[in-house]
Amino acid sequence: MKHFIIGTAGHVDHGKTVLVEKLTGTNTDRLKEEQDRGISIELGFTSITLNSGQKASIIDVPGHERFIKNMLAGVGGIDMVMLVIAADEGVMPQTREHLDIIQLLQINKGLVVITKVDIVDEELLELVEEDVHDFVSQTVLADAPVVKVSAVAGQGMDELKETLTQIAETVPIREESGFPRLPVDRVFSVTGFGTVVTGTLISGYLDVGQNVEVYPQSITSRVRSIQVHGDKQDRAGAGQRVAVNITGIEKGEVSRGNVVATPGSLKPWHRIDVKLHLLKSSPRPLKTRTRVRVYLGTEEILSRIVLLDQDELQPGEDCYAQLMLEKLAVSAKNDRFVIRSYSPMLTIGGGKIIDPCARKHKRFKPEVVESLKMREKGTPSELAEQFLNIHKTMLAGEEIEPLMDMDPNQRQEVLAGLIANNRVKGIEGNPNLYTTTDNYQHWMEEVTRLVEAYQLQYPLREGFPKEELRSRKFPKLSSKQFQQLLQALEKDGYIKLYAQVLSTPSFNPQPNDNQKKIIDELVRAFEKAEFQPPNWPDICIRLKIDQNQANEILQYLLKMGTLVKITENIFFHRQTLDRAQSTIREYLQQHGEISIGGARDALQTSRKYTLPLLEYFDKKKLTRRVGDIRVAGKAKE
């Protein structure tokens, strides 16, 4: 079923509330002060059954300029507008400001109602009607019907109701497939039930028992009950005025301007990218970093406006800009907003949200403006690719913020299409991550270039240390994300992974020509020395090997098993060590035990090498120390 909201607009005392009361039988001025003063201060709410049987909500907004912020809290949720103009006064200052707001919010369904026609003559009425047509001619209400009524006398009321019925047929159905989003315009407490919030549900469905979150405070709650115009409902849909009883939250914790939505569906943020329009009626150009009042949903927020490609925006012109909010707020792509000057408070402009969670931008960067143009007008596929390209990272599907107004199935369909067309790369894992193919290609080239350079510089090492690569090139990726990227690069054949390092697939640590000469000399020296091997630092000095290269070669020889470390700076050639092991084993088989002196004589070496060698054999369980002698250990053959 279609649900929609009709809103009033117009100058103070032009008869909006009386008109609504005549249409519905309800006086929306509920406050005593409103009734005493005869003007609306707060938002008024009621409902109307049209001639078609369709039921609609009505929001009656205040017309006094002092209460524009209250008017803005209600008008953002309406689908069609009744712009009310009194025949005895015609177009007045707040008529103009209200129409400016309607224009900025792009409320393009509605009509103009000329009221109090019974108190003016025909000639004046014709002049007013002509003036009204000129007044709306360049606006969203240019083609709107004009109905002349007297609510007090009942004149024209049947025509008005029929016109409302006809326009209602053209109002598009609200989007119900997204998550529920309820900007709060009123909060009160009911004894025995607790906190109640009211507002216009602008998307999705809200169900009794559903878990919700209050933003931007991020307070979790649950829907205890729902009322629509006083009637209890189990479910409310987009386009309905609802009163929602929420649990576990005190009245003082929620206020007008907050948003009730699905947990985790919105992200409180303080920077918003927008397409901004400055009204022709603005008294002066808008300079960058000007402090303004931003009206977003039902919220009023102080903000500074950063113009991204100019220092000053002229009246009547558009530009891309960033709102720097002075407190956190939530919004969604394509939401409309209004700005008023800080002082005096005049409506000067507004526009449309492009990115509700924007990064800080450098001004006068053509690529920033081009990006915003794409994101303003692009298809979902273009937006997803653009978002991933801008952020230069890998994101899970639900983190792709421009697609927040899509359900998960639609989002996955878009990503699958981008992968099939080789525009996006899927990185398998839990969760699956996504980046643009260009990003992935760039990362692959960077990684392979660094690894190849590293292998050239350190040809004897197994590969490039993983953590060094992450800290140098991928500091924004978590360890888990980085590992997923490396696994994807290995799967695609670009690298080979080891426990702590990575290399190119065909890489095999090999000495270069110079290192081969040095290694040959070192190996010959250790082979010739047999059981009295040279001290490592000493032989490196003798062969004029610098310390860095000496360490590289030593690690290579140890890894290859050519040398075996016995203790600090004592290394044996593997073949020499094997002969020593055979000699000691044979001795033990013949004598049953061996002393340090016996081992020294058997190996024809000195105590300097015998004792470390026996301790090494103890560790390998070839021998076992008993007092001052060794016996055979339990080493496996």
CATH code of 479's domain: 1.10.10.10
Average pLDDT score over the chain: 88
Structural domain harbouring 524: 513-632
- The DSSP secondary-structure symbol of 545 reads -
The mean-pLDDT minimum among 134-138, 395-399, 604-608 falls in 395-399
Distance between CA atoms of 466 and 482, rounded to whole angstroms?
9
Residues 537 and 627 in one domain: yes
374 falls within a domain: no
- The pLDDT of residue 40 is 40
Residues 505 and 522 in one domain: no
Q: Is the pLDDT score of 32 beyond 50? A: no
- The pLDDT of residue 248 is 92
Give Cβ neighbours of residue 203 (< 8 Å, ≥ 6 apart). 174, 175, 176, 178, 179, 180, 181, 238, 405
Residues 310 and 426 in one domain: no
Distance between CA atoms of 7 and 4, rounded to whole angstroms?
10
Residues 231 and 340 in one domain: no
Residues 54 and 189 in one domain: no
Segment 535-549, tens digit of pLDDT = 999 999 988 898 888
Report in angstroms the alpha-carbon separations of 78 from 23, 85, 298, 519: 18, 19, 12, 83
Q: Mean pLDDT throughout 454-480?
A: 91
Longest dimension (CA), the chain: 137
- The DSSP secondary-structure symbol of 150 reads B
CATH code of 314's domain: 2.40.30.10
- The pLDDT of residue 384 is 79
Report in angstroms the alpha-carbon separations of 472 from 282, 446, 464, 466: 50, 11, 12, 10
Residues 158 and 73 in one domain: yes
Q: Mean pLDDT throughout 100-121?
A: 93
- The pLDDT of residue 549 is 87
- The DSSP secondary-structure symbol of 193 reads T
604 falls within a domain: yes
Residues 22 and 145 in one domain: yes
What percent helix, strand, coil does the chain show, rounded to 5?
A: 35, 30, 35
Residues 307 and 289 in one domain: yes
At 453, list the tokens: 């350079």
Residues 18 and 51 in one domain: yes
Residues 330 and 405 in one domain: no
Element (H, E) at 559: helix 547-560
- The pLDDT of residue 177 is 60
Q: Mean pLDDT throughout 123-137?
A: 95
215: nearest Cα among 350, 315, 357: 357
Distance between CA atoms of 452 and 519, rounded to whole angstroms?
23
| Percent with pLDDT over 70 in the chain | 93
Q: Mean pLDDT throughout 90-95?
A: 92
